């Protein structure tokens, strides 16, 4: 019995060690499938501030996490964008927010001085602590975690983990079809070139931004929102 207990304990430790080693690292199988790291777990290499380049910011790296820390004494608040642009791809990422936290991941962001913000062009997968969010977010299901912010959502499947716990996000774009998953549940999908989708936008507050969702490729962006947000395991696979 003791031998069996030791064996189980050893397997548990090996399993835990294996999981630890996979943080911000691709497996051999993932590499063969074409996945790439977007965050190396050690630095901001491959990222810069939207329209501001390498300006000092609230974004930092600590313990393998990419963090926007509002308590950081120096640096500006700004969204972080990828150096590269992407068209058809699949994106995976882990995320967690503090109590009541609010952030987002954008795709198809056009970086240009004529656009003051990432959401002027990019589609946002909302990241939110639904349970402790501001009332304005609680009342609008398109503001819940996993939604295409302000436009559309399968609200019944917006079930983020408790604040300060890790969630798994997934975004896929291929031939104009964009889909979001939150913790393996589909929370949004649409052909962004369709008349139905365009009508959804026209009926939303995003109609105030004429170039919203008009680009078929662009940067990936991580939103600062003066709330604590952390990311890890950010992987992308061009399709």
The answer on pLDDT for 201 being more than 90 is yes
User: What is the chain's Cα-based Rg?
Assistant: 19
Residue 68 confidence class, pLDDT cut points 50, 70, 90: very high
The answer on pLDDT for 6 being more than 80 is no
CA–CA separation, 171 and 178 (whole Å)? 7
Same domain, 6 and 50: no
Same domain, 70 and 21: no
Same domain, 133 and 186: yes
Q: Which domain holds residue 8?
A: 1-25
Same domain, 46 and 12: no
Q: To the nearest whole number, what is the mean pLDDT of the chain?
A: 91
Cβ count near 10 (within 10 Å): 10
- Give the list of residues 6+ apart from residue 123 with CB closer than 8 angstroms, or none: 106, 107, 108, 148, 178, 192, 212, 213
pLDDT digits 0-9 by tens, 101-132: 999 999 999 999 999 999 999 999 999 999 99
Same domain, 11 and 92: no
Q: Which residue has the higher pLDDT, 125 or 8?
A: 125
pLDDT digits 0-9 by tens, 9-63: 444 444 443 444 589 999 999 999 999 999 999 999 999 999 999 988 899 999 9
Query: Taking the CA of residue 13 as centre, how many other CA atoms within 13 Å lie in the half-sphere pointing to its CB?
Result: 6
Partners of residue 67 on adjacent β-strands: 60, 230
Of 239, 121, 126, whose CA–CA distance to 181 is shortest? 126
Look at residue 1 in the predicted model and tell me its pLDDT.
Answer: 52
Same domain, 125 and 19: no
Number of domains, the chain? 2
Same domain, 106 and 175: yes
pLDDT digits 0-9 by tens, 158-189: 999 999 999 999 999 999 999 999 999 999 99
Instruction: Indicate which CATH number applies to the domain containing 185.
Output: 2.60.120.560
The answer on pLDDT for 78 being more than 50 is yes
Percent of the chain with pLDDT over 90: 79
Same domain, 169 and 86: yes
Prediction pTM value: 0.90
- For the chain, the straight-line distance linking the first and the last C-alpha, in angstroms and rounded, comes to 51
The answer on pLDDT for 5 being more than 90 is no
Percent of the chain with pLDDT over 70: 91
Look at residue 199 in the predicted model and tell me its pLDDT.
Answer: 97
Look at residue 226 in the predicted model and tell me its pLDDT.
Answer: 80
Same domain, 204 and 130: yes
Same domain, 79 and 1: no
Same domain, 58 and 6: no
Look at residue 61 in the predicted model and tell me its pLDDT.
Answer: 96
Same domain, 16 and 118: no
């Amino acid at each position: 019995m003791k031998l069996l207990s030791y064996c189980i304990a050893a397997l548990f430790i090996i399993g835990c060690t294996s999981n630890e080693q996979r943080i911000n690292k691709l497996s051999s199988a993932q590499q063969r499938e074409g996945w790439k790291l977007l965050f190396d777990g050690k630095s901001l290499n491959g990222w810069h501030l939207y329209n501001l380049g390498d300006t000092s910011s609230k974004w930092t790296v600590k313990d393998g996490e990419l963090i926007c820390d509002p308590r950081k004494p120096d640096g500006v608040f700004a969204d972080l964008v990828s150096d590269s642009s992407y068209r058809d791809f699949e994106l995976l990422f882990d995320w967690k927010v503090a109590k009541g936290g609010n952030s987002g991941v954008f795709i198809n962001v056009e970086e240009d001085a004529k656009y003051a913000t990432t959401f002027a062009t990019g589609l946002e997968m909302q990241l939110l602590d639904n349970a402790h969010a501001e009332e304005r977010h609680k009342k609008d299901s398109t503001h819940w975690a996993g939604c295409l912010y302000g436009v559309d959502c399968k609200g019944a499947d917006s079930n983020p983990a408790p604040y300060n716990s890790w969630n798994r996000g997934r975004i896929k774009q291929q031939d104009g079809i964009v889909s979001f998953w939150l913790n393996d549940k589909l929370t949004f999908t649409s052909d962004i070139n369709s008349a139905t989708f365009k009508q959804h936008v026209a009926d939303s507050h995003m109609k105030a931004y004429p170039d919203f969702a008009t680009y078929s490729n662009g940067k990936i962006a991580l939103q600062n929102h003066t709330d604590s947000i952390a990311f890890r395991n950010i992987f992308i696979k061009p399709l």
